[in-house]
A = this chain, B = another copy of it.
Amino acid sequence: MSTSDRQALTTTSYAILGLLTLRPWTTYELAQQMDRSLRNFWPRAQSRIYEEPKRLATLGYASASSERVGRRPRTVYRITAKGRRALKTWLRAPGAGPIVEFESLLKLFYAEHATIDDVHVQLDAIRAWADRRAEENIAFARLYRESGGPFPDRLGPIVLAGKFMTDFTDMVHAWVAWAEDAVRDWDDTGHRPHAAQVLEDVAARQPPTTTRETASNEHT
């Protein structure tokens, strides 16, 4: 039981297995590709990308062939039939929803202990992040529009993920603009017009009508 647990693939395993369906890769190429395509919704360190395919190979989901560059060894990985089957099975089960980690926002969450300058440092950093990402998104879109990209027949799934990323970038950008306005009314009066407005707006919304047993939240 604990032995079979140890053999269970992680999401990262499947992430790499998925890349291996496209073509064989050297570990370095995998790391590069991971960085290009999955970084934004499944970020992992380079060393992880070097380790995972080994495991895939020992478990039979991939095959490893050793090559040689001068005196240096290198490994090329290919997916096996077993690997393809495993991937297909994994694709059928619903995956986890989005998880966000956001250190700058955490700092803003404790802004009462910071100076107003500190707050602007965070907001500026976030804006810079959004700008950088926006640039990447545009460069990416132009590349694909002009050349079709390295895997033109994958356009559908690629843009599915790509639009998620641009939507997220846009959202962060808009949020930071709002936040800059909002912190402008942070004075000693305790009045927080922007915050109050948000509360009103969100509180006035109709909860989505989920179909689980006539959601009885109307005790109003």
A28 within 8 A of B: no
Verify A161–B121 contact, CB threshold 8 A: no
The residue on B at minimum CB distance from A127 is B208
Verify B108–A161 contact, CB threshold 8 A: yes
The distance in angstroms between the C-alpha atoms of A96 and B41, with both chains bound, is 16
23 contacts between A and B (CB under 8 A): A21-B110, A41-B102, A94-B104, A94-B124, A95-B105, A95-B107, A97-B102, A97-B103, A97-B104, A97-B129, A98-B102, A99-B100, A108-B161, A111-B156, A134-B207, A141-B205, A142-B203, A144-B199, A145-B199, A145-B200, A155-B192, A163-B198, A167-B174
Verify A179–B160 contact, CB threshold 8 A: yes
- 1/0 per residue, CB under 8 A from B, across A120-163: the answer is 01101110111110110110111011000000011111111111
Chain A residues in the interface with B (C-beta under 8 A):
11, 14-15, 18, 21, 37-38, 40-43, 84, 87-88, 90-115, 118, 121-122, 124-126, 128-132, 134-135, 137-138, 140-142, 144-145, 153-164, 166-168, 170-172, 174-175, 178-179, 182-183, 186, 190, 192, 194-196, 198-203, 205, 207-208, 210
Verify A160–B141 contact, CB threshold 8 A: no
- Minimum CB–CB distance from A45 to chain B (whole Å) comes to 12
A160 interface neighbour in B90, B93, B109, B153, Cβ under 8 Å: B109
A99 interface neighbour in B38, B102, B138, B175, Cβ under 8 Å: B102
Residues in B whose Cβ lies below 8 Å from that of A131 = 208, 210
Verify B100–A100 contact, CB threshold 8 A: yes
The distance in angstroms between the C-alpha atoms of A41 and B98, with both chains bound, is 11
A192 interface neighbour in B14, B159, B198, Cβ under 8 Å: B159
Verify A110–B125 contact, CB threshold 8 A: no
